[in-house]
Chain A
Amino acid sequence: MIYLDNSATTKPHPSVLESFQQVSSTYFANPSSIHQLGGTAEKLLLTAKKQAADILGIGVDEVIFTSGGTEGNNTAVKGIALEHQGRGKHIITSSIEHPSIYEACQSLETLGFEVTYLPVDKNGVVSVTELEKAIRNDTILISIMHVNNETGSIQPIEKIGKIAKNYPKLFFHVDAVQSIGKVPLQLKNSGIDICTFSGHKIHGLKGTGMLYINNRTKLFPLLHGGNQEYSLRSGTENLAGSVSFVKALRMMKEREKNEMNHLLNMKSYLYDALKAMDGVEVNTAEHAAAHIINMSVPGIKPEVIIHMLGEQEIYISTKSACSSKLKDESKVLAACGFGRDRTTTALRVSLSYDNTMEEMKLFVQALKKAIKQFKEAME
């Protein structure tokens, strides 16, 4: 099997599963229970937070465990909107955000909020100048993703953070679900107020994730109840999930440090091979994240290629898994200015540190063969 759909989800690391199982069976008590077993569970939860805080260079009380990317993004966008609507009702985001941001913003529009969707250039990057121009007196939130899930384009988060710092009335949220462990991002003193992470994109488990919410940021919780997670997210803590998330995070950060070259080598091999391949148009710009390459094969329905490769146990995807069931074109590629011939025929290859150069070579051969077969059959 050659698994190249790591931006949809990753295979959980065995030691992450082990942690999950061990915590589930040994420390199953409710961390809020007063008895000793609850005390141990609470201590473990705090240890998990400390670990996460250390790894990310943030404060322990800035770590909120969640169920993943969609919850994190919804909490950030709706939470800021509801809490600070008295200040203003304007939100700035980009036209290439993940549906959990995009749809959340659209839902807020029905409640009377105004949203500016910033365009992107052909490389899939928002303009910092345009962004600053869009800021108004009633802007309360800027939400921009770090790495785009379809094209791998990297947004100028550092520059946006510097701008955001000059507007203390608004908050800056970053969706880092696709970038964590693969593209470096500084949180502390970066102007970022909230940042979303997800466990299952980093060889962790589905249903796990984390939000960074810095100390100055107040938001209206989506979930009310027993006041867990500093009242920002009520509900009995998913202790086993949280511990396993932190373990996945640690391993991912270590691999980022030690194995980045491996990822870059695979990407540059793929990039060159796909550029040179007949019938293939590469949509990802050269300076993008090391783990995502988007391409189009105009004239061939992407599903056809996915299934042809799937028969050989090579797994890639069409646009993002969350929107790939819709038959329409890729919104993200359309926003980059590509024509329908490319926006309706896009394929995504997404890598993990687990992939090998050998797999890249096999994939390139298989893709070449599949395109050739299809074209011969049509002639």
Chain B
Amino acid sequence: MQYDHILIRYGEMALKGKNIKQFIIRLQENIQAKLKDYPNVKVKRTQGRMFVLLHGEDPKPIMDKLQKIFGIHSLSLAIKVDNDLEKIKEAALYALKENNNVQTFKMTVKRINKDFPVRSQELTQILGGHLLKNTEDIHVNVHQPDLEVKVEIRLEATYITSSVIPGLGGLPVGTSGKSLLLLSGGIDSPVAGYLAMKRGVQLEAIHFHSPPFTSERAKQKVLDLAKQLTKYGKAIKIHIVPFTKLQQEIFREMPDEYAMTIMRRMMFRISERVCEQESILSLTTGENLGQVASQTMESMHAINEVTNYPIIRPLVAMDKQEVITISQEIGTYETSILPYEDCCTIFVPKSPKTKPKRVKINYYESTHDFTATLEEAIENIEIVTVYDKKDIEESFSDLF
């Protein structure tokens, strides 16, 4: 006896109307893409549910992967047996024993196939009795059971499931279009990207790199963070902007206390241009109200002036601790806290304005023409794509 398939229940998208099919097909594609290393495994859609047919593969790593796919409400390992009472008994017992730390259970029977000779009520008693006889110290509790063993007798076969494992919820990545994530290397931006993906967004990312002040390691850190995010979605294209020259020009030409705000405005200008080139309709940032100088209401007001693209700020109302908790859960925290300088930390003005004003900034910006340097930065953007697969860097590959 072994589990032979995984039952997938849909998340919020089950509430969709006529366009539900698009969501389901996208989810199926996303699942297939994540499981392509398992050629025997098949993903099947049926009425209101999806099945992953294991065909002998070990369910554990597959469950792990499914638990990282948005759009899945919950998962259950299931056994398919013939409509035969003895086989159903055996499978129900297996499903109970496979779960650790169970003290109480509830037996639920659905008899959709009315030709099955034993009626649900009676079958519940037979199966419940069978489980009690063959286990020790496990009791029935119909109100708050540790585990519900479900038996569903359908026309073609009987399905037995037990524990329900929660999925990530949300919407399948790709159903809400694309957004450009401003990825810095800190704790916040990867979490913002993750939360945008949760709402079905497919990400591209942009990173501002200031060599030689920021190192290859700082850039690698950003690629590593993006790679971690691909575990929850698709491959991510990262636009790496050579920012050194523009940054130096800003700090040379602009008043010290406004340099930081103006630098942010430049980042948004460049980001918007990348969006235009890539047909992306929004930006996503890890901005959070009141956290640091650049993220006061006044500062957001000043920075936001340069773009009318929608800016998704999933963290805007979160506490720092909430953000850290998510970053730990999604595996970006350890990378985020690596102590490499990024472009925002190398030139820190002595006293940045926490309440910058649009009028003043526009005046200062009008005193110097940044166009040439800005265009040069955009011209020389380097594009790197990271994938959700193990890739050993080529120069290392023969070492392993």
Q: How far is the CB of A104 from the nearest CB of chain B, in Å?
A: 30
Known: A39-B215, A61-B334. A50 touches B399 (CB 8 A): no
CB neighbours of A48 from chain B (8 A): 400
B400→A243 contact, CB < 8 A: yes
A23→B399 contact, CB < 8 A: yes
Residues A143-170 near B (CB distance < 8 A): 162, 165-166
CB neighbours of B393 from chain A (8 A): 43, 47
- A-B interface, 3 closest residue pairs, ranked by CB to CB distance from nearest: A39-B217, A19-B399, A243-B399
CB neighbours of B400 from chain A (8 A): 19, 47-48, 51, 243, 246-247, 250
Chain A interface residue count, Cβ-Cβ cutoff 8 angstroms: 24
CB neighbours of A243 from chain B (8 A): 399-400
CB neighbours of B398 from chain A (8 A): 22
User: Majority SS of interface residues in chain B?
Assistant: loop
Q: Which of A44, A57, A165 contacts B100 (CB 8 A)?
A: A165
B317 located at the interface, meaning its Cβ lies under 8 Å from any Cβ of chain A in the complex: no
CB neighbours of A246 from chain B (8 A): 400
Q: How far is the CB of B132 from the nearest CB of chain A, in Å?
A: 22
A42→B217 contact, CB < 8 A: yes
Residues B48-69 near A (CB distance < 8 A): 60-61
Q: Which residue of B lies closest to A54 (CB)?
A: B390
B392 located at the interface, meaning its Cβ lies under 8 Å from any Cβ of chain A in the complex: yes
What are 27 A-B contacts defined by CB distance under 8 Å? A19-B400, A22-B398, A22-B399, A36-B215, A39-B215, A39-B216, A39-B217, A42-B217, A43-B393, A43-B396, A44-B396, A44-B399, A47-B400, A48-B400, A50-B390, A51-B392, A54-B390, A57-B61, A162-B100, A165-B100, A165-B101, A188-B60, A243-B399, A243-B400, A246-B400, A247-B400, A250-B400
Residues A214-272 near B (CB distance < 8 A): 243, 246-247, 250
Q: How many A-B residue pairs have CB under 8 A?
A: 40
Interface positions of B (Cβ within 8 A of A): 60-61, 100-101, 215-217, 220, 334, 390, 392-393, 396, 398-400
Q: How far is the CB of B327 from the nearest CB of chain A, in Å?
A: 14
CB neighbours of A57 from chain B (8 A): 61
Q: How far is the CB of B298 from the nearest CB of chain A, in Å?
A: 37
Known: A42-B217, A43-B393. A247 touches B399 (CB 8 A): yes
Known interface pairs A19-B399, A43-B220, A243-B400; 17 further A-B residue pairs with C-beta atoms within 8 A, sorted by A's residue number: A23-B399, A34-B215, A39-B215, A39-B217, A39-B220, A43-B396, A47-B392, A48-B400, A51-B392, A61-B334, A162-B100, A165-B100, A165-B101, A188-B60, A246-B400, A247-B399, A250-B400
Q: Which residue of A lies closest to B397 (CB)?
A: A47
Compute how far the CA of A47 lies from the CA of B396 in the bound complex, rounded to whole angstroms.
8
Compute how far the CA of A188 lies from the CA of B392 in the bound complex, rounded to whole angstroms.
23
